[in-house]
């Protein structure tokens, strides 16, 4: 097992064409991931938004979280053993796997959406109502933008979960990059296993990076703390006598929304709280 063996595998033209070629396997993996996320989003987002908005059926979110303790491998095997024989076509392998992937993607999406909507400040919600917004407008114009950071971090963990489990699903005959790992194991082709693993890891890292970028771009600057930071640095650089209104001083105290984000898995806003901590703490350390 050496570097040149890995290099040799990646530069072998035979590994880049046909059903078993890298482009096709990557495409399959992306297809399963995309399809799964689409189905899971359609189920989880309206449900999570409704639970967060109305405050009813909260046990649904707790229950979904507890279900995460079920070993994914066991779920995969159990579902394919029951569902597989019921389907009389080539889809006998795809449908059970996608079902399990959807089941795994729902909890993070559901709790992300729910926690996002639930963390909206009651004052902001009341203000919106006071301005005469209808329930639908409150949801779409106030709650949704405020919930976006937590929702996106839920989407990130769901995506990673699906990419990882789709790999494992090769053991129940699903296509995708997992095939290299499982087939390599069966034929004791260790080079193929390592190369497949590199591809899987790279795919996961790229997907996560793209979603992190989306998180940075899509979240409103007022919520992520970007606006306050930009305004402050601008004030510091250009204006020696910053006006109290424009330098974002009203944002420097930790926002309850950001406090709720701590530990939720998103990096941006958490850093914002860290950098906007009370000056006395910063001076001492």
Interface with another protein includes 72 (CB under 8 A)?
yes
**Region of 17-25, 51-59, 133-141, 157-165 interacting with another protein (CB under 8 A):** 157-165
Q: Which of 200, 219, 223, 260 binds another protein (CB under 8 A)?
A: 200
Q: Which of residues 207-246 bind another protein (CB under 8 A)?
A: 208
In a 3-state reduction of DSSP, which class is residue 177? Answer: coil
Query: Cβ of 23: how many Cβ atoms within 10 Å?
Result: 11
Q: Tell the smallest beta-carbon distance from residue 251 to another protein (Å).
A: 17
Q: Nearest CA to 141 among 153, 152, 133, 150? A: 133
In the complex with another protein, the residue whose CB is nearer, 90 or 283, is 283
Instruction: Kindly determine how many residues on this chain lie close enough to bind another protein according to the rule CB under 8 A.
Output: 50
CA–CA dist 144, 151 (Å, integer): 9
Long-range CB contacts (within 8 A, 24+) of 33-36:
33/101, 33/159, 33/162, 33/163, 33/166, 33/207, 35/98, 36/98, 36/101, 36/102, 36/105, 36/162, 36/166
CA–CA dist 283, 6 (Å, integer): 50
In the complex with another protein, the residue whose CB is nearer, 133 or 183, is 183
**Region of 91-99, 118-126, 142-150, 162-170 interacting with another protein (CB under 8 A):** 162-170
**Region of 14-22, 120-128, 143-151, 156-164 interacting with another protein (CB under 8 A):** 156-164
In the complex with another protein, the residue whose CB is nearer, 241 or 284, is 284
């Amino acid at each position: 097992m050496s570097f040149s063996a890995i290099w040799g595998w990646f530069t072998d033209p035979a590994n880049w064409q046909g059903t078993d070629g890298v482009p096709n396997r990557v495409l399959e993996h992306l297809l399963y991931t995309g399809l799964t996320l689409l189905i899971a989003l359609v189920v989880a987002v309206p449900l999570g938004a409704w639970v967060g908005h109305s405050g009813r059926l909260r046990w649904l979110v707790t229950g979904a979280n507890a279900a995460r303790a079920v070993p994914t491998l066991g779920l995969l095997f159990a579902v394919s053993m029951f569902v597989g024989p019921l389907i009389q076509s080539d889809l006998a392998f795809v449908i059970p796997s996608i079902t399990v992937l959807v089941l795994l993607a729902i909890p993070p999406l559901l709790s992300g959406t729910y926690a996002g909507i639930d963390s909206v400040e009651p004052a902001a919600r009341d203000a919106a109502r006071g301005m005469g917004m209808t329930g639908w407008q409150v949801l779409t114009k106030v709650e949704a933008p405020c919930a976006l950071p937590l929702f996106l971090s839920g989407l990130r963990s769901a995506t990673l979960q699906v990419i990882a489990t789709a790999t494992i699903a090769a053991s129940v005959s699903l296509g995708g990059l997992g095939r290299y790992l499982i087939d390599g194991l069966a034929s004791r082709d260790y080079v193929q296993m390592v190369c497949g693993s590199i591809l899987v890891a790279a795919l996961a890292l790229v997907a996560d990076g793209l979603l992190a970028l989306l998180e940075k771009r899509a979240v409103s600057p007022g919520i992520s703390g970007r606006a306050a930071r930009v305004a402050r640095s601008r004030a510091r650089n250009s204006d020696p006598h910053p006006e109290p209104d424009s330098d974002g001083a009203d944002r420097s105290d930790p926002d309850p929304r950001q406090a709720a984000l701590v530990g939720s898995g998103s990096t941006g806003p958490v850093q914002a709280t860290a950098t906007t901590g009370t000056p006395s703490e910063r001076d001492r350390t």
